[in-house]
Chains A and B, each alone.
Chain A
Amino acid sequence: MATTTAPAPTTQRPGTNGANGTLDGKCPGGPIESHWDHYKAEIKLINPANKRKYQVIVVGSGLAGGSAAATLSELGYQVKCFCYQDSPRRAHSIAAQGGINAAKNYQNDGDSVYRLFYDTIKGGDFRAREANVWRLAEVSRNIIDQCVAQGVPFAREYGGLLANRSFGGAQVSRTFYARGQTGQQLLLGAYQALSAQIRAGGVKMFPHTEMLDLIVVDGHAKGIVVRDLWTGEISTHMANTVVLATGGYGNVFYLSTNARGCNVTATYRAHKRGAFFANPCYTQIHPTCIPVSGDYQSKLTLMSESLRNDGRVWAPKKQGDKRPPQQIPEDERDYYLERKYPSYGNLAPRDISSRAAKEACDDGRGIGESGLGVYLDFGDAIKRLGEPVIRERYGNLFDMYEKITGENAYQQPMRIFPAVHYTMGGLWVDYNLMSNLPGLHVIGEANFSDHGANRLGASALMQGLADGYFILPYTIGVYLSSEAGKKLPPADHPTIGTVRKEVEDRIKRLTSIKGKRTPSSFHREIGLMMWDKCGMARNRDGLQAALKRFPELREEFYQNLNVTGEGGGANAALEIAGRVEDYLEFGELMCFDALHREESCGGHFREEYQTEDGEAARDDENFAYVAAWEYKGTGQNPYLHKEMLEFKKAHLAVRNYK
């Protein structure tokens, strides 16, 4: 960036598409309860015979992309679906453990659309768009019906009806689950629906294919450039509209609970072509993951939050205490969550628990070889309830822990540490789930819309499927009907060739440097810096230091990168290098956003903005808006567009969990 100071509160550029020059979310008017019904009643429909004439590109085949591709094909659209995995069944939605929320009120415990809406808005620290969240809560009920009809084997009670459990941030039991593999089962449901459509000819599937750029013709997104990861072949694909369902950007931190292949390239390349990136600094750090054990480590594994129901979190009182946990007597242990948050204790919310663990480790009281970890101790629970009860409740998690660490958590406490898990920020979209760039739709984790500054447990699966099954299939018609009668750009349109050439040149550049450093070594360096400067807690000096470092790193990257082989055929080093190239710019945007947001909210904790007792201090007067950034060139300050957030149904309140 040209300067490393926060941009001055911006005067809006005249003529961005809303009143007073601010971004317009295009939410329907009237009472929020009837928004979606009115909207569906009034939108233009496309008749079945005409739907066949429209081509739709869907990038990504997870819960959002897979469900959208299947549903759009059922409606009659011609769909092309792309994923980087070797099969659409492997998208990272598959790894979600806990469950999916829905306002079914099967438990008769007072749940309702309003309660799910309010919990989500409050959990997001009042930084999400009300109208979208209401709609999400409303369609949550249809999702469960749909999934059961597909054969998703949800947990059941002895009477044969569906079982529920409760999750953080809610006082009702509204979470549906399939053992510890809810994400897998929901994804297989969507994959099966997608497979049926592939067989029927409505979807053409392109696995092991990565999107490398967006083709924008006359201001509209009309196609993509992709690379086949097995053959190295570059090709272009054109359609009436492009849907990005490419997930989050947690891997900018190198280590996260994301899959190895998850990356920011699709959304970041769309950003460079004109799509605004909203709230990139909102990232979720999950408090209970297995700690890092060495620099060879490739990813972090989540241990379900439910463990904190019976486990007690502690760190030694003495700095640098390296005794085994069993030898540290009771009065030399600091049960810091119970000490600092007596009313919530070990069940304090995610962001607070994560930060408290960081504090203990920063204080030199972390445990394990690296000093980055705390204990989650089941000793008391085992004494009180007996080992069989604990085994019944958490046996599969204890087994997984033992598989990874080789330690028996029935005999010694688990070692845990927070890890990057989910990203709330993403490409800006309006109520139609369309970006400011006409023709570009963005769904699932890839967009910014529903979780504000912090996501509640069991809500990611809900949002992905809501977008793909029940929202986009309606809203996409709004754009497509406005394009009625317009032809796709011809195959020899000069823009297509130009974008393709740019992609090929980029690959040539990366493979021709032949320097000394591996692509992963750059990725690791970016990750460590992001974790340190833009992780659980951020401050002005740290963010400015990171902003200063990025241009230097980029320079070194282009001088000293070593990608073995050439562009043709499978080339693992080239794949990583291309993704790292985008992190080198995207990380800078994240830090810039974090620096500009001079408040603390949800997953964004600025050390300068906290209450006397160390809680997040939100600034509604100055920051109750979505920060949507416009790309202005690499190394240039991005331009800030604001979407003002209004809270008519859920009134702004301090998020107090004490």
Chain B
Amino acid sequence: MNLTLKVWRQKDAKSPGKFETYEARNISTHASFLEMLDVVNEDLISKGIEPIHFESDCREGICGTCSMVIDGLPHGGQPGTTVCQLHMRYFQEGQVVTIEPWRAKPFPVVRDLIVDRSSFDRIIQAGGYISVRTGGTPDANALPVPKQNADLAMDAAQCIGCGACVAACRNASGMLFMSAKMGHLSYLPQGQAERSRRALAMVRQHDSEGFGNCTNQYECEAACPKEISVAYIARMNRDYALASAKEMAGVE
């Protein structure tokens, strides 16, 4: 199949960017979207033009590296699919496809379709963990966890940290990402000791990075390649409210 691509090109964070038009020729419908870009890039290099810069690594939907908005939808809009697993059979012959980076203030563009998502790392560093040293831990079976809680923790822990939730959100909110980590840890007994402290620290880091707040549009849930539920945001809000109240009362 043949397509026309309108791709965002931007040399670095400081330079202005613009759309360039490229032709994708003789693409197999079995190829993934990123493999289609590989073919286009090989062609560009042969012509002495620098390739379209985009990030990808595992190409099996788990590392969370790939990140691009296709025709206005993060990861291309197929349910539960990262762009590395989006296949060309979903496109039409002759289609014009627009490709852009994640657009959000806390994700500055590095080059073309690559953005800097280190703000996500800093949110985790603020408190997205259980403080435990290596060694000296009790036997793994010393602490039973009800299966339904373990399953709810796992549903949230599946987050791949790609940032599609932010790209989809009109407020550029990182709350689905942040609440998934809090939900993962707060459904487990090991996560209780730091639950309040974690809620305060992560939310404050999130806000200081320039992410917006949730106004219940649920675009994030629709865009999430791991289909993480917005119910975790509600749970996070409750944790944060309780922790703030305790902090104000000087209980914690």
- Check A198–B125 contact: CB distance below 8 A: yes
- Check B46–A562 contact: CB distance below 8 A: yes
Which chain A residues border B146 with CB–CB below 8 Å?
Answer: 156, 160
**For window 1-58 of chain B, which residues contact chain A by CB distance below 8 Å?**
11-12, 27-28, 30-32, 34-36, 38-39, 41-42, 44-46, 48-51, 53, 55-58
**For window 128-159 of chain B, which residues contact chain A by CB distance below 8 Å?**
128-135, 137-141, 143-147, 150, 153-154, 157-158
Given A199-B126, A406-B87, decide whether A150 and B132 contact each other with a Cβ distance below 8 A. yes
B31 partner, pick from A198, A205, A296, A516, beta carbons under 8 A: A296
Given A153-B184, A569-B11, decide whether A90 and B139 contact each other with a Cβ distance below 8 A. no
Binds B, one of A186-194, A424-432, A437-445, A625-633: A186-194
Report the minimum CB–CB distance from B32 to chain A (whole Å). Answer: 8
- Check A94–B63 contact: CB distance below 8 A: yes
Instruction: Check if B110 is an interface residue, CB within 8 A of chain A.
Output: yes
Binds A, one of B111-119, B167-175, B230-238: B111-119
Chain A interface residue count: which class? 35 or more
- Check A564–B51 contact: CB distance below 8 A: yes
- Check B85–A404 contact: CB distance below 8 A: yes
- Check A92–B63 contact: CB distance below 8 A: yes
Which chain B residues border A199 with CB–CB below 8 Å?
Answer: 125-126
Chain B interface residue count: which class? 35 or more
A193 to B130 alpha-carbon distance, docked (Å): 8
- Check B118–A87 contact: CB distance below 8 A: yes
A157 partner, pick from B114, B117, B147, B153, beta carbons under 8 A: B147
- Check A92–B126 contact: CB distance below 8 A: no
Chain A residue nearest to B115 in the complex (CB): A86
Instruction: Check if B64 is an interface residue, CB within 8 A of chain A.
Output: yes
- Check A74–B45 contact: CB distance below 8 A: no
B129 partner, pick from A106, A193, A400, A519, beta carbons under 8 A: A193
Could you mark each residue 512-540 of chain A with 1 if its beta carbon is under 8 Å from any beta carbon of chain B, else 0?
00101011110000000000000000000
Secondary structure at chain B's binding surface: helix, strand, loop or mixed? loop
Which chain B residues border A71 with CB–CB below 8 Å?
Answer: 134
A301 partner, pick from B60, B150, B185, beta carbons under 8 A: B60
Instruction: Check if B214 is an interface residue, CB within 8 A of chain A.
Output: no
A621 to B9 alpha-carbon distance, docked (Å): 61
Q: List the interface of chain A (C-beta within 8 A of B).
A: 67, 70-71, 74, 85-90, 92, 94-95, 104, 106, 142, 144-151, 153-162, 178-179, 181, 184-185, 188, 191-193, 195-196, 198-199, 205, 207, 230, 259-261, 293-294, 296-299, 301, 400, 403-406, 469-470, 473, 514, 516, 518-521, 562, 564-565, 569-573
7 contacts between A and B (CB under 8 A): A157-B147, A196-B131, A230-B116, A296-B36, A296-B39, A404-B87, A571-B50
New A-B pairs, 9, CB < 8 Å, besides A95-B62, A184-B158, A573-B51: A92-B58, A144-B140, A153-B150, A156-B150, A193-B129, A298-B35, A518-B42, A520-B42, A570-B53
